[in-house]
Amino acid sequence: MPQARQPKTIAQLRTANYKVLPVREEMRKNLIARISKGEKLFPGIVGYEDTVIPQLENALFAGQDVILLGERGQAKSRVIRQMTGLLDEEAPTIAGCEINDNPFKPICAACRVKVAKDGDDVELEWIGRERRYAEKLATPDVSMADVIGEVDPIKVAEGRYLGDELTIHYGLIPRVNRGIFCINELPDLAERIQVGLFNLLEERDVQIRGYLIRLPVDVYVVATANPEDYTNRGRIITPLKDRYGAQIRTHYPKTIDQEIEIAEQERSRFEDAEKLVTVPQFMKEIVAEFTFLARKSPEINQRSGVSLRVTIANLETLVAASMRRVVRYKEKTAAPRVSDLPFMLASSSGKLELETVEEGRETRVIDEITKKAVLNTFGKYFTVRDFDPLIQKFEEGLVIETGTDVPSFVYAEKLGKVEALAPMIEKLQVSPKQEGLYASAVEFVLDGLHLNRRLNRDKVEGKFRYRG
């Protein structure tokens, strides 16, 4: 409704024939409208089109509270935050109300007093979606006062009685009345707080301590949890599980392309790096393949998951390594190389949880997965026997040195005229004139041949020396 025409009092709201819908009906109405227009419900969410999103739509059509189960880094919080787009842009409430009261049916004591005194002349306030959404990270120290409410000692000191409803300081749930409340990592809530949510999910009201106060709040409840914790053996109480209408399992991207698309969408970007650094497709695939392999590795604890943040952080690290070369060697352009991959140790460590912990093991595991990622990606582009002419050159004495600190122009100057190498580089759609990309392509080919045991590789003074 245009701001200039918004009703300012309850009387004007009645005259405008405005209908205040329960939050589930409101979200359902807006869901129908967006689907009818062909609008994307969750922009920026990749890979859930045929799995998670249809299940969410069903839950919303059914008016069911939802819990999203998934390991870390599966966009659970982002999906929930985007659900606020299904709320009306603005909604009317009684001016000054702490719990966004329905003007036609107030539930808090202060608003009931106002309506009893002034009737339909009570002033309204129009609130945006941000005022109708709250999110709480569950930790063992979360109290009932945080989520439901508590008697305010200051109001008692001002002279109000303990049994007076006006002494209540409302928690997060009442404060998003007629909105969405999200609990992240639900099993981490203390059991007594989980019990306190029973009424909210079943009777649709909350109770504050032992007082005869029961607020019929209108809240759509969503939660997230790790599947490992959301079991009878975990930290969730079974009756609470029973009260959620829909339990939806999230997942990691199912394809390398989806992983790359998300990483490109989410990684940090800087204007200078965007102009000077180009990441070739094969390097993106190596980074994504690294994460895919980590998600299957028996060395890594799969119960905690391997987050998409691993791919994002590793891609950022490779771009940073390229930018460092640009600054140090005054290069016009640069591209990530295989010799930059060891830098991924810093951006992967801490995100990968090993099954067994011993000194140096994390470095070895990451190095082994990195090599396998390069080998697998190389196999998608090339067949080793196609390199026989190049292998012959190495057997005749050709030696090539590479390294993260070797300037890009060196590769083009030394190797640009090696005819046996040219067809393979061209297959990657790169030419010696593109110095940064050419250096990256050369290293990819050489390391792929080394991992296929067609070339020897020695580490000499921080550089890699490839020979026959």
- Number of neighbouring beta carbons within 10 Å of residue 192: 10
Q: What angle do CA 296, 440, 371 make, to 5 degrees?
A: 25
What tens digit of pLDDT does each residue of 424-467 get? 888 999 888 899 999 999 999 999 999 999 999 998 888 899 99
What are the structure tokens assigned to 385, written together?
Answer: 């026997």
Give start and end residues of each alpha helix (H) in 67-177: 76-82, 109-118, 144-147, 153-157, 172-175
pLDDT at 7 over 70: yes
Angstrom distance (rounded) from CA 160 to CA 257: 62
CATH 3.40.50.300, the chain: domain bounds = 3-249
Structure token pair of residue 280: 């070739």
pLDDT of residue 171: 87
As to burial, measured by CB atoms within 10 angstroms (0-12 exposed, 13-18 middle, 19+ buried), residue 160 is middle
Lowest mean pLDDT among 102-116, 139-153, 290-304: 139-153
DSSP β-ladder status, 179-184 and 168-170: unpaired
Please state which CATH number belongs to domain 3-249. 3.40.50.300
Q: Whose structure tokens read 């209908």?
A: 19
Average pLDDT over residues 106-112: 89
Contact criterion met (CB below 8 Å) for 279 and 67: no
pLDDT, one tens digit per residue, over 122-155 is 999 999 999 999 999 998 889 888 888 876 766 6
Contact 262, 291 (CB under 8 A): no
| Averaged pLDDT, 303-313 | 92
Tell me the pTM. Answer: 0.86
Of the pLDDT bands very low, low, confident and very high (cuts 50, 70, 90), residue 92 is: very high
Amino acid at 390: L
In this predicted structure, what is the pLDDT of residue 405?
92
Residue 170 scores a pLDDT above 90:
no
- pLDDT score, position 232: 56
